Chains A and B, each alone.
Chain A
């Protein structure tokens, strides 16, 4: 019940296209859903996050869509750029537990 399932495992998109990464969770106690971006040799960096009382959050080219009833959330990267090529992780956290539960990651490649 602690799992966060992420898909696809890898994604190849042309420059200017839309990248979509999906995650699903089971634990309804989760109350914060961040996305992290990780470049090779670096730690994950917080990209954008959402709470379950909001259906969509947009920051620049990055948008999180959240469907509470389906227990699913997704990351959309508009106008994808080669510099967006990285591994993306969704995550979830709840209450006093504090530790993040991560999805398995999606390796995104944006072709020039």
Chain B
């Protein structure tokens, strides 16, 4: 069974630019979660998508947005990048019911210069 896949693995962007990160959940998982892991700040919840709808968002500005497609894959978009957006962005998926434990991908390392 393929795990959660994220792309790209690394990227470097300039302050003010926009970036799109992609996530493919485990087959059969309908929920996708996005987390930001900035150095020294732990794992911060960003967004939760289920069945194509945004179900909840964390305490992040509106320039962080995303969507979930009919095949349950997801994109995270970050506009007007700031230096402090440099972080590892992690996607996780879970089934609609059953286990409450997520399966995480390996993340996308974003560096803003």
Binding site for B on A (CB under 8 A): 32, 34, 36, 41-46, 49, 89, 93, 97-105
Tell me the complex Cα distance, A104–B39, Å: 11
B106–A42 touching, CB < 8 Å: yes
Known contacts A32-B100, A99-B56, A102-B42; decide if A43 and B31 are in contact (CB<8 Å): no
Residue interface mask B30-57, A partner, CB < 8 A = 1:
0101000000001101001010000110
- Interface size, chain B (Cβ < 8 Å): 22
A-B contacts, 17 listed (Cβ < 8 Å): A32-B100, A41-B106, A43-B92, A43-B104, A43-B107, A44-B43, A44-B90, A45-B104, A46-B102, A89-B42, A97-B56, A98-B33, A98-B56, A99-B48, A99-B58, A102-B42, A104-B42
Tell me the interface secondary structure of chain B in the complex: strand
B108 to chain A, nearest CB (A): 10
Q: Is the CB of B45 within 8 A of A100?
A: yes
